[in-house]
């Protein structure tokens, strides 16, 4: 005897139509079968819009504050690239655009000041550095850069004042930092030809505390040699300047022998700065040699200064 099964409930026509519509998709379904999927789709879209609105509500203020800073940073990077390429005008335009996006950026104002120093636009450079200091009075480099420009403008007392502010900012940051500031302060006094006894004490302390780095030590010896020249101590000045020049030119030769470097443009910029320091030392020694009656050697130093692209004079320091 075959087994007997109880029949299930009989499917209605409505049930069959819904089932067939689900297989065939919305286009084959009857009007009654598409209402629910369409409604679900609309609900999902509404949910997404609501979530997006909530995200914007929460993150909108953050993005609003972040976006101008990022755009300004991007233009600042473009300015550095243009400066490395030697296009000062394009670099300045990029920086001015950056500052329109973020006018409260101390680094951007200092970067603009650096660019204007390169073109010898000292009055505007002072204004740029002063604005950078207003925005961030805790960054010593803002004062360092402004002091250099003030020296070019013969505003020596103000430059010395900036070095005193730097001295206060780097207090207790280590002997090397202290030595660098003492040397900067002594050199600022020398450029103003003022308080030379005090300047000599400061640079002697700098040489005692720091100068482990060859370039830093050469700079300190140059400062002391120049102070001794101003004090009329020409033999002592020559000894220090001979040592400074020997050290800095060994560094120049070592850089010239390097086989590889990350960015050739940055390498050229750094090399140019190093030869500028050497040119200053050669100029100072030429002054001393003239006082010692060694005019021929003095002329050789001045010729080398010009070969490096600098003109000997009070603005070379």
pLDDT tops 80 at residue 59: no
Any idea where the domains of the chain sit in the sequence? 64-149
Number of residues assigned to the chain: 317
Which pLDDT score is estimated for 56?
A: 57
The mean-pLDDT minimum among 51-65, 98-112, 147-161, 234-248 falls in 51-65
C-alpha 231/C-alpha 133 separation (Å) is 34
Which pLDDT score is estimated for 4?
A: 41
Kindly report, residue by residue over 181-193, the tens digit of the pLDDT: 999 999 999 999 9
- 202 Cα distance to chain centroid: 29
Residue 170, both tokens: 């780097």
Residue 41, both tokens: 């789709």
Indicate the average pLDDT of the chain: 87
Which pLDDT score is estimated for 26?
A: 44
C-alpha 129/C-alpha 149 separation (Å) is 9
Looking at per-residue pLDDT, the higher value among 116 and 29 belongs to 116
pLDDT tops 60 at residue 102: yes
C-alpha 27/C-alpha 34 separation (Å) is 8
* CATH superfamily, domain at 64-149: Tetratricopeptide repeat domain (1.25.40.10)
Kindly report, residue by residue over 269-297, the tens digit of the pLDDT: 899 999 999 999 999 999 999 999 999 99
Give me the sign of the Cα torsion angle 81, 83, 86, 92.
Answer: positive
Q: If you compute the radius of gyration of the chain from its CA atoms, what whole number of angstroms results?
A: 36
Place of tokens 């609003």: 64
Q: Shortest CA distance to 156 belongs to which of 164, 148, 145?
A: 148
């Amino acid at each position: 005897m075959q087994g007997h099964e109880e029949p299930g409930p009989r499917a209605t026509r409505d049930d069959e139509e819904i089932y067939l519509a689900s297989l065939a998709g919305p286009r084959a379904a009857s009007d009654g079968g598409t209402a629910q999927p369409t409604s679900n789709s609309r609900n999902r879209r509404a949910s997404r819009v609501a979530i997006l609105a909530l995200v914007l509500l929460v993150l909108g203020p953050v993005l609003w504050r972040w976006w101008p800073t990022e755009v300004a940073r991007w233009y600042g990077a473009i300015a550095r690239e243009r400066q490395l390429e030697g296009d000062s005008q394009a670099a300045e335009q990029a920086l001015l655009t950056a500052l329109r996006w973020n006018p409260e950026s101390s680094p951007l104002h200092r970067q603009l000041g650096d660019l204007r120093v390169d073109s010898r636009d000292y009055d505007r450079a002072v204004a740029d550095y002063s604005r950078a200091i207003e925005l961030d009075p805790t960054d010593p480099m803002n004062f360092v850069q402004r002091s250099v420009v003030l020296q070019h403008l013969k505003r020596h007392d103000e430059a010395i004042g900036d070095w005193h502010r730097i001295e206060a900012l780097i207090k207790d940051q280590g002997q090397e930092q202290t030595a660098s500031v003492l040397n900067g302060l002594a050199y600022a006094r020398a450029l103003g030809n003022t308080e030379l006894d005090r300047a000599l004490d400061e640079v002697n302390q700098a040489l005692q505390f720091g100068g482990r780095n060859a370039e830093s030590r050469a700079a300190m010896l140059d400062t002391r040699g120049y102070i001794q020249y101003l004090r009329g101590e020409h033999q002592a000045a020559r000894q220090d300047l001979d040592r400074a020049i020997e050290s800095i030119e060994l560094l120049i030769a070592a850089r010239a022998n390097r086989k590889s470097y990350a960015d050739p443009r940055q390498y050229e910029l750094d090399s140019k700065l190093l030869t500028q320091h050497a040119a200053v030392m050669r100029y100072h020694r030429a002054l001393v040699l003239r006082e010692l009656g060694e005019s021929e050697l003095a002329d050789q130093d001045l010729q080398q200064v010009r070969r490096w692209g600098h003109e000997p004079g009070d603005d070379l320091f």
